[in-house]
Structure formats: C-alpha cells, structure tokens
Structure 1
Amino acid sequence: MTKKKSESIKILMVTRETLSDRRYGLGRSLMPIVEELRQRGISADYICQIDLGQRATHWQIRLQHILASFTRNGETSTDFPALLYGLLERFNMGRLAAKLAAKQGYTHVHCHDPLIAAGFRFFLRFHFGCRAIWGVTEHGFGCYAQAMHEDGVRLGRHVMHIMRIWERHTLLAASWVIAPTSSGITQIAHDLKISPLPKKWHPLVHARPILNQYDKREARHRLGWNTDMVYLLSVGRIAPVKQFPLLIEACAKLKIKKDFQLVILGDGNSDPLQKLAQQLGFAREIIFATTEDIGLYLYAADLYVSASASESFGLANLEALVAGTAAICTAVGGVPEVVGEGALLTEPTLNALVEAMQRMLTDKELREVIVQKGQTRAKAWPDIIQITDLYEAIYRQVAAS
C-alpha cells in the first residue's frame, strides 16, 4: 500500500465509554484496530467520554438534571431520567465528533452506537463544508433500543416504538452498518422491520484477543490464590444484563467436594451482590476486582462462567477460549456463533446453569474436551490483521462510491 493511498482517509472512532468501561468494553477490541491502521500509515483516532472537556461535561450533567426534574412525578413505564442520561451522553459525543470531523478533516467517522450517530448527524449540519462519511457499529444483540432496555434503562411500549423508528432512520442513512455476528445483523433487521438486508450492512467479528500467557501455578502465585481451591471466574461490568445474581444463586446450589471461590472482574456497585452471597450462605466473600491483565485471571481460574441474558458477541468468552480455560456460556444472542463447541452452552436459567456448572466441575474428561475444542476454535479465529483488512476495505469502498 503506497503512502499516498494511506493518507487518503482519516478515521475517527467514537464511543460513549468512560475510562472504566474501556477496561472491559469496546476499548479491548477497538484500540488494536486503531493501532493496526496507524501501522499502515492511516490516520486513525479513538475518542470516548474522557475526551470531553470539563465545560461540555458540566453542561451535559446540568441539562440532564434540568430535564429529569420534569419527569420524576408519577409512575411511568419508562425510566425517563435514565433514558435522558443515556441520550445526552451519546448526543454529546456525537457533537464532539462533528466538531472534530470539521476541524481536523476526518474523512470517516465510525460511531459505535446509533444514538451517537444520530447526534453526529444532527450537529454536522452546523459545520458547513464538512463532508465526513459516517457509519455505525451496533454492539447490542438486535436493535439498540432493546439492548438499552435489557441493560436496565426501562422503556415503555410507546417510547420503545419511537426509539426504534429513530434508530431505523439513522441506520438506513448510514454509509455502513456493522454488527459483530451474522445473527446480530439479522436480528437488527428483524427488530427494525428492514427487508431485504441492505448490502452496506456487514457482520464483522472482533479479532482474536492477545493475552499475556501464564502457567496456572504462576498465575495463582501472582494473585495470591490458594493452589487447592476451586476458582470460578466471571467477567463483565456489573449490570442487569450480565445476570450476576443468577450466577451467585447457582454457585450457592453447587455440590462439590472442594471449597470454591467466586471471582468477578467488573466495574460497578458490588455491594448488593456481596450481600446476596452472604444471604445465601457463601463460605467466602466474592472477590471483586478490576485489571488490565485479564489473561492472569483466566489462566489462574478453574472455570469461566458467563450467565448473561444477552450478548452481541461476548469478547470475554472468546478470551476464555484463547486462554484454554474451561468455559460455560449461556446460549444467548451471538454467543453460540462465537464459541461454537468451545464452551459448554446452557440456557440462562438457574437450574440449567447449576447443572452445567456441576457437570463441568465433576467431569474432568468433559472439561478437557471443551478446552481442546475451545483452543482449536481460538487458533482458527481471524487475527487483528485480517479484521483490520476488512475494516479498511469497508472504509475505502464507501469513499470510492
């Protein structure tokens, strides 16, 4: 690729993540793409909420408080304060993206959220002469309004309908739409009543993660873990969609000879989960932690468990396969498409989860088979170079057309 060709596009990735979100969220999959694009001589940047100035953040919070004060009276089917907060933070990122696109000459703005895209599209009209091409990646399974609802932002029927119409118009106006699985793309089109599937919509998986590798004994030594205890690991921010209470209840029903320790890697308020574990008679408090080295925990754990109610992809699930950690995942969203036979799939119910965990902890042969299949699948997974090739092809195709 010549230098002249590489300089012909300039890409801005935009998310609504906070700094803590990036530890377990999109940053783990997007930053390697940005870095690979830069290696190719392509100008690429990635912004999130930490890039907002103090003034912009101040006005976002102030406006949210003002608007929320008009919606707190009476019971409604929609959680308007939470919805307004989500809309404002995403529109604020769209505003910043439009400003930077006009000021710094970005040719492509990649919005990792349709509401950010709607905000970008709105504010772009105030920057005359800016001709940035824009597109969207949907990171929820199915339409984004449904994903927000499942993630704890309660939406009533009428508000859900309006949000879906808004999302539909935004996606149809985008130059590209990406989802991390084929099933996810299909579900979005179904939810938004879009048929046939537009040619500019693409399933594009996250690249195979690169983890720091450890011997199990070494990893446990570094973490200060007991060599004789069974460690169960789950990963994800503390949010309703991750169903950590379900996981805790399932752990309380396990019948295994060795004592176990539940470890949850994720930001958020862990107090209610710790209290639930105490009520259910856990012998040990749950270990809650945050880390920049997820591989250390995966190599140290005996069993990785994801109890999510919905996942568009589930990057932590794929990381478990890469690490060779025996994995149990709920068969939701795009998870079966990602893990295949490399994890023991189960229904997202208490009895099913207990049965799956019991089987994996007591059947050594089953664990070994699952681990072998998982590692085989992980080794065949597309790497960052292959995935960046596909991103670059999309960017150049829309620019040419």
Structure 2
Amino acid sequence: MPSKINFMSPLEAVSILKSGDHVHLSSVASTPTILVNAMCEYAKANGLRDIHVHHLHTEPPAPYADPEYEGIFQHDAFFVGKNVRKQVQAGYADYIPIFLSETQNLYRSGVLPINVAMVQVSPPDNSGYVSLGTSVDATLAAIERADTVIAVVNRDVPWALGDALIPLSAIDRFVEHDEPLEEAIPAQPNEQELAIGRHCAELIEDGACLQMGIGAIPNAVLSQLGNHKNLGIHTEMFADGVLPLVEKGVINGSMKATDRGKIVSTFLMGSQKVYSFIDHNPNVLMMDVGYTNDPFVIARNPRMTAINSAIEVDITGQVCADSIGTTFFSGVGGQVDFIYGASRSEGGKPIIAMPAITSKGVSKLVNTLKVGAGVVTTRSHIHWLVTEFGAVNLYGKTLQERARLIISIAHPSAQEELDKAAFARYGSHYHFVK
C-alpha cells in the first residue's frame, strides 16, 4: 500500500458527520459495513440528528434503519432490500421512487444534496487509481458531488474496469480493512421456474443482447442457452449464471452495437467466482448507471432482450413489481429502463416473466391489482408476458384480446374465475377462453 495514504480508524473517518447530513453508501456486495457501524456509533454517541442515508440495494444489516436510531437517521433509499423491508413497511424507514437510470441524476442535478459518500475500493495501482469494483451505479455520481468521500481500501475488492476507476485524489479519508465481499449463493430453479426459463429461452434469438437480474428464473433461462450463438450482455447486474456461457463462447458480445465484445454492468451480486471473473478482465466494463440503464443506449443494441419479474399482473397488462397493498417489497429499480429500451431496439423483446401461481396456490394473474399495489410497468409498456404455461405477446392488442391471452397462461385453477371477471368487465362482446 503506498505510504502516501494516511489511514485512520473508522470512527475518526466518520467524525466529520454532522446533523442534517446526507450520506450515500455504495451498494449490494460492496456496502462498507465497517463505516456503517462506525457511523451509527458516532452519531448516537454525539447526539447527531436527522442524517439522511441513501443507497440502492444493500446486502448487510442496516442498523441505521432500526427503531433504535429513529430521529438520528432517516433512511431514504432508492431501492428496498430485504434488510430494510420490514422497517419501511413499519414507517421507521422510507423510500424514494425513481427509475434506476435516474438515481445518479439526483446527485448530479443537485435535487439531493450529498455531504458524505462512503465506499469500498481496491488498493491503488502504480498510477494512483483505485477501482470501485462491484458497485459503480449511483456511487460514482455521489463521489463526484460529495463534500467528503470516505473509502475503505479492501484487498478483496476486485479491480474492475470502465467507470469503476477513480483517482486517489477523489477520496478525502481512507480506512484500511480487508474483508470478503457479500456473496449470494446461486438460486437453484424448481420445475415451475425451469418451465418459465424454457419459454423465455425460446424467445431469445442468436445474436441477442441480454438483460436479466439475479435469482432462480434468470438462472433457469441462462441454463438453457447453451446452444445459442453470439449473445451479448448489457445489464444493470449479472451473477454466476453467465459464467458457463462465457466459458463456452455463447456469450461473446460480437453482435452488440455498443461496447462490442464487452459485458456491461453497473453492479454485481454473486459468488466469489463472479468477483474473480471481473478482476482485471478487459472484457467486462462496470459503468455508471446513467449509461447502463439509459433506455436510448440500451435500444442501440439490436435484438435487445430484457427479462424482468413481477409480483402481480392484471388482465389489462398492468405490472406490479414493488408492492402488494400495504406490503412493500423493493421499488421501481431498472425494470422500466430496460423494458422501454428493449421495446425501442431493432428486433428487441421486452419480457415480464413470473410464476402464474404462488407457493400458497394464489394466482399472480389477477382481474385487478390489489389496492395500494404499485404499477411499475404500465399496460402501455408491456410486450411479452411469460409464465410456466406459455408466452404471449400483448403488444398492439386490445384490452379484451389481452385478457384472453393473459388468462390463457394463467394457472388452470384460476382461469374460470378470471374469465368471469373479464366477462363482467367487458360484457357480452367478451368471449370466454374455454
């Protein structure tokens, strides 16, 4: 480690905090836990109040959102992970609804002030640069605009390229602490998810550029692409499922119009294999979220295929992906960015993929969304809808045509009730599916 870096303790590093400050935390696998804990300790011990904490999804515990810190911290995240979901639902924490592509603009435009950015970085190279590793997203914008940048220098942060590289001069305070990044064990798809994956894989053409997130359904899709050719990746995130396809040469980016030959992402969440894969890898670019999630950048890639999930979809095609009634789940995220971007792409396919029924036997295809449900993708944006029972294209279809198509891929136990609801809604001109 270069001797010119003046390391300090975590408590000393956060001692610049004051009441009313706005703090940004780097996200997902790279949340600086040691600074989070020091921030909570320092703020409580020194009687600080009304510190606003902003971030995208974070994996580790989030003590600042607990009732114990009410009045000290105000959690105003851009995305709600499982570590703060109960607190948001209980009112101890809050959420700013926003497209993922615009999170960086909250800082750059000055809509949100940013006093302190807390991040993790790799050790510096001989040129005096460090890498943000797995978390560029809105973190780069926070670093650009923050009054003070505090960085944990961690040997376990991979050396990612692209917008991840920043000069040491962009950082004001340094803490040295080596700790493995948070990992996510790859989810194993069940038969229901494998069926969804098969239907999605059938829609993916050779030469397509893919966006999909993390979880069992993306893994199910990726596991069935082994015979495809010349696929590319332009996404907000990727995980372990892409690695076998890269090794096999299926994913090579040769048909992309932007960043040809490169995998483009803005944050990561996976196993250590993923973090090792991006380390000093010239074929992976970790980019600012204003680039990865810009619908017009996305649309430049031909055959852009975006696969996103949902909680509920009604028979008009409204997609709920953030909340059911008063139960809050996540947030808008990047779904609309990629659904719209893929719809503008030449030969693009925006896809909503979801199980037709929950593990408790409740249909996820419904007549009307529950009261309070958040519409993330509108009925005007939706194209392809996929369940384990098939794939239907709703683009250009009337409301009655949509109802018939959506009901056709509902669970058989729900079809009759949905048919009756559609008949009650549209009258005698509507004809039952059966």
Pairwise TM-score range, normalised by the shorter structure: 0.3 to 0.5
Q: Identify the structure with the greater strand proportion.
A: 2
Could you tell me the TM-score, scaled by structure 1's length? Answer: 0.37
Q: Identify the structure with the greater helix proportion.
A: 1
Could you tell me the TM-score, scaled by structure 2's length? Answer: 0.34
